[in-house]
């Protein structure tokens, strides 16, 4: 299943490693370090609509890491992901 993360971008839900709220998550050195490293490797995809990211998705496929910046809230993405995984509630 694919998760729509905004601005006509989707990611394979099986590849998602974590979803972070940028306001609270980017205060930690580990999280900022991951984002800086992936940015230096040109592996950050900006999926924001207005350029103001609210969440960060980290994906891994075949050992290849990518980070996606989304203008959707982490809680919204998690709800969409849960719906995609279990559409029959």
The pLDDT tens digits for 5-40 are 999 999 999 999 999 998 887 777 788 888 899 999
Separation of alpha carbons 57 and 67, rounded Å: 6
What are the domain boundaries of the chain? 2-85
pLDDT confidence of 66, banded at 50, 70, 90? Answer: very high
The size of the chain, in residues, is 89
């Amino acid at each position: 299943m694919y998760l729509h993360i905004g601005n006509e971008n989707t990611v394979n839900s099986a590849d998602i490693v974590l979803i972070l709220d940028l306001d609270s998550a980017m205060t930690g050195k580990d999280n900022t370090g991951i984002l800086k490293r992936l940015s230096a490797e040109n592996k950050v995809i900006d999926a924001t609509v207005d350029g103001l990211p609210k969440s960060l998705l980290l994906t891994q496929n075949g050992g290849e890491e990518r980070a996606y910046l989304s203008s959707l809230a982490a809680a919204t993405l998690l709800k969409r992901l849960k719906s995609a995984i279990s559409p029959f509630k």
